[in-house]
């Protein structure tokens, strides 16, 4: 029975992009692709926020680092064209280094202070990317890097359409499968980390840092490890994003993105993988669905009464307020979080 | 055995102030191997502060501590734990939302080594280690008598059981010295007696115990040595009998005529 469920879930995940492509079109598959990138980001942030209990409001910086890493080494910018299997791990590793770089000065900070410093870090990275166009042109400044090589695994170029028998694998569908692999890996890694000696140490730090240290946990190293692990998933997501879009610019990496990723983690239920995945999917897919509200109003009311983008923000705000009132632990909370907020 | 066995721990002239308040004004203390030493004194005498300095939570303003022939690192609690000193807290500090078993498993952290790669790839060594951690945690829970509660959430345990759990968690770090900060506070007479038995058993296993306690009768019965702090100074030390009859102690702590 359980096996049957797993098989059904696997089949659904595999068939989803083909089905969506056939019914709703490329645009919706693209939305699914972005949902997967957001899931990857949310899983990474979950390690920092959910497992180790450290607030990070600049998380998008690691996404940016991964994206630019890919962009600069696989585009006409420096005329480098490194392969995917080098670029993705490299991006994850560079992002992890930045994670440690951010983590180090924030080790003594907590709560509000930590939030503000991490927020600043996110902005600094973006500003750097914006300004490293001159005098030596590294990032091409606000124009960003374009002409990035499309994702390709060996000789299989994911940026081209491949027909396999009855099925047609368009670029957005190809990307879906690659991203899905990334997400599944991230889920397995998160799950195993959570249940390991390392995960227990993170939970202990989250619960009581002094008690954790007194039990022999090196709180400094474990916090840095959480920052690094979280950042590496952000970096991986960034690399995939760059190869998928073929273009990156600093404006993709604003504070709003960090806030959005944090909302995904909090809304879904921080510390719980299923919750985080749900939160990321909901918050990345629902706003897109709301776009349809414009044409619908036109059709039914004769004019657009409520601008869809305003409607999105309105719904988003309402959802968050409702969540904080009714279910502060998130939709699918981790056991421990639920206890923290509601007692037993 | 000669009588000049080197002490397990020697603290030399520990000073610690908070702003203008001198919490410790030069405390020296020596602990024997596998002994039970009581640390007593009125409220605010500096007992907990001494624990915090000893276990690295505070850095002393002056003074140092030798433990098993080496100087203890100051202000680095995780290294102190690694050297073999474990503690409990006056106001219980469990990982309240984790299960009882998980709390004790955290205590094994310092004696185990699985890292990120081991966790992610679930190597044979990691799985073995994880099983050993679990087995040892259960063993310790049995030892303190709360194994039946191993899957309960730590914060839901009764007060007495929480104290026991804190001791089990501390024992999980394989300490040579167990420092207990008022472990009997809030316990009734029978719980106190049970706790006393547990402490004696821990000593029989070869561990030394440093014990802060207010119940003078209980501590006099349990301890091999007693040290009395008052206003951050050590005013007396010796066997329970000696200390009990020390006029300074009677005046400062027991109240004139109490002994
Ligand atoms: N973190 C701190 N900051 C300021 N004062 C402190 C701190 N910890 C302890 N003290 C003060 O130091 C003195 C000794 O406290 P403590 O060691 O807790 O005493 P005891 O455990 O013997 O009752 C008290 O006057 C207390 O108020
Ligand atoms: Mg005290």
Check residue A265 and give its pLDDT.
Answer: 92
**Which residue from B39, B58, B193, B109 is spatially nearest to A215, judged by alpha carbons?**
B109
CB atoms within 10 A of CB A144: 22
Two structure tokens written together for B253 = 């702590």
| Shortest CA gap A145–chain B (Å) | 34
CB pairs under 8 A between A and B: 111
| A161: pLDDT strictly greater than 90 | no
Kindly list the residues from chain B whose CB atom is less than 8 angstroms away from the CB atom of residue A204. Answer: 95, 98, 106, 109
Confidence band of B57 (pLDDT split at 50, 70, 90): very high
| A309: pLDDT strictly greater than 60 | yes
State whether B122 and A192 contact (CB < 8 Å): yes
Ligand 1 closest atom vs CA B24? 14
Q: Report yes or no on A135 lying in a domain.
A: yes
Calpha distance B61→A48 (Å, rounded): 35
Residue located nearest, by CA, to atom 1 of ligand 1 = B18
What tens digit of pLDDT does each residue of A184-236 get? Answer: 999 999 999 999 999 999 999 999 999 999 999 999 999 999 999 999 999 99
Check residue B258 and give its pLDDT.
Answer: 45
Q: What is the CATH number of the domain that holds A51?
A: 1.10.3470
Task: Round the average pLDDT of chain B to a whole number and report it.
Answer: 92
Nearest to A207 among B78, B95, B119 (CB): B95
What tens digit of pLDDT does each residue of A269-290 get? Answer: 889 999 999 999 999 998 888 7
The CA radius of gyration of chain A, in Å to the nearest whole number, is 21
DSSP type of residue B42: S
Check residue B92 and give its pLDDT.
Answer: 96
State whether B98 and A189 contact (CB < 8 Å): no
State whether B106 and A193 contact (CB < 8 Å): no
Q: Report yes or no on A333 lying in a domain.
A: no
Calpha distance A52→A155 (Å, rounded): 40
Contact A276, A334 (CB under 8 A): no
Among the residue ranges A37-51, A141-155, B101-115, the one predicted with the least confidence is: A141-155
Is the whole-model pTM more than 0.90?
A: yes
Contacts 24+ apart (CB under 8 A), B132-138: B133/A197, B133/B105, B133/B108, B134/B101, B134/B105, B136/B108, B136/B172, B137/B101, B137/B104, B137/B105, B137/B107, B137/B108, B137/B168, B137/B172, B138/B101
Check residue A331 and give its pLDDT.
Answer: 85
Check residue B1 and give its pLDDT.
Answer: 45
Q: Which residue of A has its CA nearest to B83?
A: A216
Q: Report yes or no on A156 lying in a domain.
A: yes
Check residue A344 and give its pLDDT.
Answer: 46
**Which residue from A244, A253, A246, A240 is spatially nearest to A87, judged by alpha carbons?**
A240
State whether B81 and A200 contact (CB < 8 Å): no
Q: Which residue of B has its CA nearest to A201?
A: B106
Please report the sign of the dihedral spanned by the C-alpha atoms of residue B100, residue B103, residue B108, residue B112.
Answer: positive
Q: Report yes or no on A319 lying in a domain.
A: no
Q: Report yes or no on A71 lying in a domain.
A: yes
Contact A232, A36 (CB under 8 A): no
| B203: pLDDT strictly greater than 80 | yes
Calpha distance A151→A238 (Å, rounded): 13
Check residue B2 and give its pLDDT.
Answer: 47
Write the CA distances from B222 to A87, B225, B235, B238, B255, integer angstroms.
65, 9, 20, 14, 21
Rounded mean pLDDT of A157-185? Answer: 89
| B259: pLDDT strictly greater than 70 | no
Check residue A290 and give its pLDDT.
Answer: 79
Q: Report yes or no on A255 lying in a domain.
A: yes
Write the CA distances from A190 to A85, A317, B30, B95, B112, integer angstroms.
21, 29, 47, 21, 20
* Candidate ranges A2-6, A153-157, B97-101; pick with highest mean pLDDT: B97-101
| A316: pLDDT strictly greater than 80 | no
Calpha distance A38→A284 (Å, rounded): 7
Q: ipTM surpassing 0.90, yes or no?
A: yes
Provide the domain limits for residue A39. 21-273
Rounded mean pLDDT of B22-33? Answer: 94
What tens digit of pLDDT does each residue of B145-190 get? Answer: 999 999 999 999 999 999 999 999 999 999 999 999 999 988 888 9
- How far away, in angstroms, is A219 Cα from ligand 1 center? 24
Check residue A235 and give its pLDDT.
Answer: 97
Rounded mean pLDDT of B28-43? Answer: 93
- Secondary structure of residue B17 in the 3-state scheme: strand
Q: Report yes or no on A312 lying in a domain.
A: no
- Angle formed by the axes of helices A26-46 and A60-73, nearest 10°: 120
Task: Round the average pLDDT of chain A to a whole number and report it.
Answer: 90
Contact B215, B192 (CB under 8 A): yes
What tens digit of pLDDT does each residue of A102-118 get? Answer: 899 888 887 788 888 99
| Shortest CA gap A264–chain B (Å) | 23
Q: Report yes or no on A152 lying in a domain.
A: yes
Two structure tokens written together for A220 = 């400094």
Check residue B15 and give its pLDDT.
Answer: 96
Q: CA-based diameter of chain B, in Å?
A: 67
Count of all residues that appear for chain B in the document: 259
Interface mutation target, options B93, B100, B176, chain A, most CBs of A under 10 Å = B93
Interface mutation target, options A189, A196, A215, A232, chain B, most CBs of B under 10 Å = A215
Task: Domain count for chain A, please give it.
Answer: 1
Q: Does B49 touch chain A (CB under 8 A)?
A: no
What tens digit of pLDDT does each residue of A233-262 get? Answer: 999 999 999 999 999 999 999 998 999 999
Kindly list the residues from chain B whose CB atom is less than 8 angstroms away from the CB atom of residue A196. Answer: 114, 118-119, 126, 130
For chain B, which domains are there?
Answer: 1-84+175-259 (3.40.50.300), 92-174 (3.40.50.300)
Nearest to B87 among A197, A214, A337 (CB): A214
Write the CA distances from A263 to A46, A283, A291, B44, B85, integer angstroms.
11, 8, 20, 45, 42
Rounded mean pLDDT of B85-92? Answer: 96
Cβ of B49 closer than 6 Å to ligand 1, yes or no, is yes
Beta strand pairing call for A167-169 and A162-164: antiparallel
Please report the sign of the dihedral spanned by the C-alpha atoms of residue A213, residue A215, residue A216, residue A218.
Answer: negative
């Amino acid at each position: 029975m359980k096996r049957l469920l797993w098989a059904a879930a696997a089949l659904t995940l595999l068939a989803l992009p083909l089905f969506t492509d056939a019914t709703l079109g490329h645009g919706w598959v693209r939305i699914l692709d972005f949902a997967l990138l957001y899931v990857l980001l949310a899983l990474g942030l979950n390690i920092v926020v959910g497992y180790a209990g450290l607030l990070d409001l600049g998380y998008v910086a690691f996404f940016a680092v991964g994206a630019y890493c890919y962009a600069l080494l696989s585009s006409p910018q420096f005329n480098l064209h490194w392969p995917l299997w080098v670029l993705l791990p490299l991006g994850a590793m560079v992002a992890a280094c930045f994670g440690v770089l951010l983590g180090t000065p924030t080790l003594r900070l907590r709560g509000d202070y930590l939030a503000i410093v991490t927020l600043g870090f996110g902005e600094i990275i973006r500003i750097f990317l914006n300004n490293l166009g001159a005098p030596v042109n590294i990032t091409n400044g606000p124009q960003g890097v374009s002409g990035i090589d499309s994702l390709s695994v060996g000789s299989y170029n994911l940026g081209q359409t491949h027909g396999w028998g009855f099925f047609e694998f368009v670029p957005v569908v190809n990307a879906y499968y690659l991203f899905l692999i990334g997400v599944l890996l991230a889920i397995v890694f998160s799950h195993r980390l959570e249940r390991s000696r390392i995960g227990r140490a993170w939970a202990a730090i989250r619960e009581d840092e002094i008690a954790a240290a007194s039990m022999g946990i090196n709180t400094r190293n474990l916090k840095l490890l959480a920052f690094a692990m979280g950042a590496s998933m952000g970096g991986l997501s960034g690399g995939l994003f760059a190869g998928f879009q073929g273009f990156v610019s600093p404006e993709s990496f604003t504070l709003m993105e960090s806030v959005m990723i944090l909302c995904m983690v909090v809304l879904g239920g921080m510390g719980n993988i299923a919750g985080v995945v749900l939160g990321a999917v909901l918050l990345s897919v629902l706003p897109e669905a709301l776009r349809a509200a414009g044409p619908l109003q036109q059709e039914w009311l004769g004019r657009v009464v409520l601008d869809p983008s305003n409607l999105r923000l309105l719904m988003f705000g309402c959802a968050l307020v409702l969540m904080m009132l009714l279910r502060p632990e998130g939709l699918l909370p981790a056991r421990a979080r639920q206890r923290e907020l509601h007692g037993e | 055995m000669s009588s000049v066995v080197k002490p397990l721990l020697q603290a030399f002239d520990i000073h610690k102030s908070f702003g203008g308040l001198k919490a410790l004004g030069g405390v020296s203390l020596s602990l024997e191997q596998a002994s039970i030493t009581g640390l007593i004194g009125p409220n605010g005498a500096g007992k907990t502060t001494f624990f915090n300095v000893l276990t690295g939570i505070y850095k002393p303003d002056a003074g140092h501590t030798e433990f098993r022939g080496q100087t203890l690192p100051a202000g680095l609690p995780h290294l102190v734990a690694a050297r073999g000193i474990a503690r409990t807290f006056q106001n219980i500090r469990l990982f309240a939302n984790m299960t009882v078993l998980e709390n004790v498993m955290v205590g094994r952290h310092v004696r185990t080594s699985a890292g990120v790669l081991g966790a992610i790839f679930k190597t044979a060594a990691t799985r073995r280690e994880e099983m050993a951690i679990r087995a040892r945690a259960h063993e310790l829970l049995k030892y303190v008598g709360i194994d039946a509660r191993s899957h309960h959430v730590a914060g839901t345990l009764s007060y007495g059981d929480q104290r026991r759990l804190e001791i089990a968690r501390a024992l999980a770090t394989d300490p040579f010295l167990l420092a207990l900060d008022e472990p009997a506070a809030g316990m009734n007479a029978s719980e106190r007696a049970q706790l006393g038995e547990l402490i004696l058993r821990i000593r029989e296993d070869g561990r030394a115990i440093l014990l802060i306690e207010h119940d003078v009768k209980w501590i006099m019965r349990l301890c091999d040595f007693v040290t009395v702090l008052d206003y951050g100074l050590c005013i007396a030390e010796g066997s329970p009998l000696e200390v009990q009859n020390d006029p300074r102690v009677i005046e400062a702590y027991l109240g004139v005529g109490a002994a």
